[in-house]
Every structure is written in C-alpha cells, then in structure tokens.
Amino acid sequence: MPYALLALLLLALVFGPQWWAQYTFRRHARPHPRLPGTGGELARHLLDRFGMTDVAVEVTQPGQDHYDPESRTVRLSPDNHDGRSLTAVAVAAHEVGHAIQHRRGDPLLRWRGRLVRWAHGAQRFGAGATLLIPVLAVISRSPAVGLLMLAVGLGSMLLATLVHLVTLPVELDASFNKALPILAEGYLPADELPAARRILRAAALTYLAASLASLLHLGRWLVLLRRAG
C-alpha cells in the first residue's frame, strides 16, 4: 500500500502542475475588455521599448511559445499572438523576458543554450550508437561494449536532466524578475496583476514538473543499476 501511495504522489507531482497550468491558461484566455492590444502587439512594443528592434515576433504552433536566441525571434501561438487576454499578454511578456535575458548576457541562459546543444548532440550520437554498438557486441563478444552503450544512454539522460534543472531558474527569472515588473508598470490594471502572477507561476510549474520527471527517470535507472550490481 505505501508503494501505491508513493506512486500516486509521484504521478501528482509530475502531471499535476501540467494540468494546473493548462487550467489556468484556459481560465484567463477569454478576451479582456480593458486590454488595448494583443499579445503580439505587446511583444512588439516591449521589444522596441527595450531597444531590440532587430528581434522579430512570429506566430508558431499552439503550445509552442518560446524565444529563439539563434534567430532572435519571439514566437507566440495563435491565441497568444492574436488574443487580447490575460494569458496572451502574460505569455508575451514572459517571452520578451527571455529576449531581455539574451540581450543582457544572462549566464544561466547561455549555459542552457550550451546544454541544449550538447543534449541534442548526445541524442544524435546515442541514436547512432544504439544501431552500431549491438553489431560491435556480436562481433567482439566483449562485455565492455555493453557497458559503453549503457554509458552513452546514462550520459544522454544526465544532460537532459541538467537542461531541465537549468531551465527552471531561467523561466522563473523571465516570469517574476522581468515580465511581472514590466506588466505592473501600467500595462495591466492593478487588480489583474494577481491573475497574471498565477499565469506566470503556472507556466513555471510545468518546468518544475519536467525537472522532477527527468530526475525520477534518471534515478530509476541508477536504482536498477545498483540492484543489478
């Protein structure tokens, strides 16, 4: 019974924040009569205000809102780019917060970019290794080849975990040290700031859930390896 409760608790920790975030986004996604512009218009205004006229604003797929430091582009989903809702303006301000981090040379954002590139490289290497290493194992009949495959897999998981752990403080900074203070300067009515804070907190919780899921996945493999040893 305790194991079942622990499993339910872990599932709640991983999937609960994602459900809560989606609920919060939907709750505040209706058109707001006191907002003078859309999320895309706010993003463009803020980028110009902070001297980032070279940063573009584009529409992307639903649920794929992000700032791309490589192409210097803020990408917003259709509802957030064209919508006049609290969710739209909060998400737009959050993504502009990442552009501000990039402009100011935020060290955590730089490290996250490096780790993402390394993680993608490790995934491509791992995909090739899973095809090549079994062939080498059959030819050489050496247990060292199996250990090499295991090391490649664990290394890839470790990099993915590091990406999630570094991403969380980056997202919190973009939300609460960048977006929320900007919105409080008069872009939102004062009585709507608590709702904006809830939206930004819900967005951060999704990254917390991703970090926990990655840690649990890595920990499960370490436990299995310890038992096997």
For 43, list phi and psi in degrees, rounded to 5: -60, -45
Residues near 33 by beta carbon (within 8 Å), at least 6 away in sequence: none
DSSP assignment of 31-52 equals: --TT--S-HHHHHHHHHHHTT-
| DSSP code at position 89 | H
CA distance 212 to 204: 13
Give the CA distances from residue 95 to residues 22, 81, 87, 180, in Å, rounded to whole numbers and listed in that order.
Answer: 17, 11, 12, 12
Annotation says 41 is catalytic:
no
Q: Which one of the listed residues 41, 58, 70, 95 is annotated catalytic?
A: 95
Cβ–Cβ < 8 Å for 70, 114:
no
- Positions annotated as catalytic residues are 95
